[in-house]
Structure 1
């Protein structure tokens, strides 16, 4: 019976999505109608209380603050400066500019929190530079799209914030847990570029221009603000000086100081920044509320609990269940955006994962890497469409094919962290 009701919910949701109804609204409709029909019409009063309680939660203040910080930073030339400096230090390594794009995305991710914003900001400067010296368009686009996915793994991360809210897991611990996996994933992406170019040097001609050591050292001055801001946001959480919400507030102030010092935030830009922040925050809150509606109804119907009991009763190892869950999320990632996956899938599978004795922080990192893979896999890979929009003269087929090369290192990262949970849990363990 549990599976039949769950199937009815999923089919109803899919029909609404196919009809073009926004994800947040679809979740809300399924929750309200399902609750009224299967529980009681009076339950709608409880849903209104859930909406008010969730949207006024102090914990959720962290989301608009990090979104605002991200918008402020992306309105400046910090991404351009970061790529230029990394490019100078990598010099004539095989695939240097491709690796520079990935490393720049990693650095930008530490002050951003959004995968599409990271890909777009670095892509606008990195892809033209690679094309200028004769890089394969597919390699240039794929490296940047894959590097952009680090925006939701390396903290601060909007995806990890939403996961923390849904599962009531410490957002600070999730942020810290993402650091080592994020660095490891960046290294795997760079290694992939190195191997591809080593096998076929024509894909990425070496940079001919020589850069003196003095220029490299001087260039570091331009990225100092990024390092300071990243430490201010993440370092303050790690040493226990601030909560994630307080660090987000510090991050906004730090970002404002940086862009005002650079004289790159006029009244017109500020208006755009605030407008984008409101739009993104509104979408975030609607997804949370819609997801909570559906989650509340499913929980009242004991569907997640029933599924968890059924799965826990199966005579299969726990790791096999985790593999199945990850495969399902990977498949869904091809058709849904990351935030939708979180609000739809996580509330259903989370009780099972906890019941099997797995760490919720570790599971959060696995889910995030799954969403990274989804961001560069068709037909609904967000980063693919973002890069196509910022570099309109490229073919969509080149964006897709170039990105598929980098699914392998992302899968490798998922498998490694799945087998060795300590990679994600080491830094949080030091905090406790």
Structure 2
């Protein structure tokens, strides 16, 4: 054996060891991110679970964001060829969705990456934006490739954007409502695009539980100065939660943004969890005001694109806050989890009632399933909001929602 060969063996061995360590760290991170949520996990937690020191982990991954991207890329490899020559029909979408469901934690990890990088200043923002652009183009190309499977009215480019958005929205909903099955949801939508009707109607979702009463502070009904101070704190907390999420935001940061001290926050709200509830209560009040146009149920259905456009133009911070918290609160122990689960049930139920009423009035096609269309509408709306936050010039939620609603209407 030559000297050169013996010198190469230790290097090869070190390379294999490094690869095993990297794989172990990615596996540990995937498990922890899926179980507890991205923002609730630290690099030290991952190092301990992976059997490596914190400095040793940093030799493989410079940051937690870098590690999350590696985890998602590993899980996402199967999706890279949805519109490839190997795909023989639009059912390839359903097959990919089934593969995703079979990968533990896939949806949580993917949406965790989307949720942390919403700010254009985030180092992963451009990578996620590029991923979304590739998905939109890939879906549109697939719709063009398999145009013979669809009715002639389908706009491949617009439907590609809608499919990419609604797929993410459906995955998000399923993390709050486990009875929602993403592959079958995509299959139903593809059947509709192909002018087919699913044999069975979707099982109606159980009704939402009553919302708990709005959180009130010690002096919410007292002096005007106390109410004003509470409002300032809630506004500051909303801004910080939108930027960094719940777990990474401290009371000290909120206090500094509100121009006060942590003890004042504790006096008014008791702690960070109660402050989050107050922020959510405020958001609900704002959303209710924007959605209440005083019209009938079908009228509110048809006016959804206009309300969404108003929301994007006048409450963009609210859009970002809702997206940040929805993608973060998928963990069952997150203090906002039940809030969003309840809200999803209520929204889907309200739209199902509106669509059924529109069918009775003859303004929605009779063969459409009200509960499925309501689920798809909510998934589409939330997914379009996410895409808009990454590509406001390329994604027009109001116009894309209008196209979907026009499809629902009778000729």
TM-score (norm 1): 0.32
Structure with the larger helix share: 1
* Higher-RCO chain (CA-CA 8 Å, sequence separation at least 6): 1
CA radius of gyration, larger in: 2
TM-score (norm 2): 0.34
